[in-house]
Amino acid sequence: MRTPNTAPTQGELERQNQFMQKIAALNEKMERKPRFFINTFGCQMNAHDSEKINGMLQKMGYEPCNEEKDADLIIYNTCCVRENAENKVYGNLGYLKHAKKDNPNMKIALCGCMMQQPTVIETIRKKYRHVDIVFGTFNLYKLAELIWTNIESGSPVFDIWDKHGEIVEDLPAVRKYKYKASVNIMFGCNNFCTYCIVPYVRGRERSRHPDDILKEVRTLAADGVKEVMLLGQNVNSYGRGLDTEITFARLLRMINEVDGIERIRFMTSHPKDLSDELISAMAQCDKVCDHIHLPFQAGSNEILKRMNRRYTKEHYLELINKIKTAIPDIAITTDIIVGFPGETPQDVDETIDVVKKVRFNGAFTFIYSKRTGTPAAEMPNQVPEEEAKANFNRLLDAVNPIVYELNQKKVGNTYKILVDGVSSDPLYVTGRTEDNTLVHFKGCKELIGEIVNVKITDCKTFYLIGELQ
């Protein structure tokens, strides 16, 4: 790994544009446009990074394809939050080793969070020598330069930074949806939860300037975007370290004034930084959706302390009460981990108690996954897999009936649905309510991107069924 020069470089985007133009000129001379395939693992932050990779590659004269086997350039945008995501990457790389023998001109690039781990880089150098380009989370904007270096040298290129440099604005991007978009408001994390690898691979928190964010949101609105998702590892701490006084609540109010935007979502919120100012902004801004994703992870104060979450069960429940008082119809979703080192069945009882008191509209539930390099991986009393699975099932038995009951209460009501796409049944389309509940209803694909009224006629545990009004 190397340390970048963190002082802003004048014209870095222009410099990268020059590399894009050089590669585009080469590709223009080819008999056919070279094709690329991006495989994205992990979170919405990675998905948004892949949109930027897509935009840069198309500017370089590549065209997207739907199958790895048809691609001349394959990029894996990796995740390291859970072990199974890493194993999938290694498994796919093993397959590509054989594919590259059949197509020696194929280029393979790896990026994302996995690449920030020295042990991963060592493994790739030793076992996966067919990989051509490797870069991490801090220098995504250098993709064109790295491809050009590989073309010129004919040798593998490894460019991994041990910390972030500048934030390069205005990178080209190709969005997955025309009518909704993700917007990074900050990068990195300062929280160091003991189970989490993210601060080590995404670096320390740094916020984008509000003017740059507003410029991007206005551009998206002008391009027909109706819904924006504001992204950060902890959006509640947005603004710290900037040369202008700004909070996340104030940023929400600014974005709420942008013409054309109809819905504003955000994730993820950390309970320790959720302020009364933010709750007020959510209640008062008409475009901010009545939904908050607020991970609590565990209900036991002892486990929360070991996780370094820096709040208690009581503080979390107090926050929930404040939110529900200010926004009575709000939907609250969460993340929960079972099987953290030292967790007992009694600790899981505390977690289930929080579930019953809050009555979440949905929960992402996980069995603890040991990540090398995190403090939790070295903790004593690692919970046996069988015990963790039994407690996990107990948790699901508490969560799912509540979710179903809350969905049942929506039957007979009419909601505004932003239509996302065609369902698995081609006669149906799918979309989401303002509170982020998934809805399936009969309709044609021409409705995609529209906000329509749908009456709910039935429900399942994880989605609603309705009819167009």
**CATH number of this structure's domain 298-406, picked from the four choices 3.30.750.200, 1.20.1440.230, 3.40.1080.10, 3.90.79.10:** 3.30.750.200
Q: What is the pLDDT of residues 415-444, one digit of tens each?
A: 999 999 999 999 999 999 999 999 999 999
Sheet holding 331-338, edge to edge: 291-293, 331-338, 362-367
Residues 296, 312: contact at Cβ < 8 Å? no
Q: Give the whole-angstrom CA distance, residue 393 versus residue 403.
A: 15
Q: How far is CA 18 from CA 21, 52, 109, 160, in A?
A: 5, 17, 20, 22
Chain segment 381-420, per-residue pLDDT in tens:
999 999 999 999 999 999 999 999 999 999 999 999 999 9
For 20-73, the pLDDT digits (tens) are: 999 999 999 999 999 999 999 988 888 999 999 999 999 999 999 999 989 999
**CATH node for 414-468:** 2.40.50.140
More confident residue, 256 or 198: 256
Confidence class for position 1, pLDDT limits 50, 70, 90: low
Query: Is the pLDDT score of 127 beyond 90?
Result: yes
Amino acid making up residue 345: P
pLDDT of residue 3: 55
User: Do residues 183 and 222 lie in contact, with contact meaning Cβ atoms separated by under 8 Å?
Assistant: no
Beta carbons within 8 Å of 361's beta carbon, 6+ residues apart:
291, 331, 332, 333, 403, 406, 435, 436, 437
| Longest distance between any two alpha carbons in the chain, whole Å | 67
Percent of the chain at pLDDT > 70 equals 98
The per-residue b/e assignment along 261-295, b for 16 or more CB within 10 angstroms, e otherwise, is bbbbbbbbbbbebbeeebbebbbebebbbbbbbbb
Mean pLDDT (whole number) for 155-169: 84
Residues in the chain: 469
User: How far apart are the two ends of the chain, measured CA to CA in Å?
Assistant: 57
Domain with residues 12-159, CATH architecture: 3-Layer(aba) Sandwich (3.40)
Average pLDDT value for the chain: 94
Query: In the chain, what percentage of residues exceed pLDDT 90?
Result: 84
| C-alpha distances out from residue 26 to 34, 104, 157, 284, Å | 10, 18, 19, 53
Q: Give residue limits of the domains in the chain.
A: 12-159, 175-289, 298-406, 414-468
CB 392 within 8 A of CB 367: yes
- pLDDT number for residue 278: 97
Tokens of 460: 């399942």
On the question of a common fold for 12-159 and 298-406, the answer reads: no
Q: Which of 77-81, 329-333, 347-351, 438-442 has the lowest mean pLDDT?
A: 77-81
**pLDDT at position 8, please?**
44
Say which amino acid occupies 418: L
What pLDDT is recorded for position 167?
77
Determine the pLDDT at residue 2: 60
> The tokens of 225 are what?
């975007």
| Measured torsion, CA atoms of residues 33, 168, 137, 198, in degrees rounded to the nearest 10 | -140
User: Which of 3.20.20.60, 3.30.750.210, 3.40.50.2300, 2.60.120.340 would CATH assign to domain 175-289?
Assistant: 3.30.750.210
pTM (whole model) above 0.75: yes
349 pLDDT above the threshold of 90 = yes
The residue ranking higher by pLDDT, 246 or 103, is 246
What pLDDT shows up at residue 6?
Answer: 44
- Report pLDDT digits (tens) over 269-328: 999 999 999 999 999 999 999 999 999 999 999 999 999 999 999 999 999 999 999 999
Whether residue 292 contacts residue 326, with contact meaning beta carbons closer than 8 Å, is answered with no
Question: Dihedral of CA 270/276/282/285: which sign?
Answer: negative
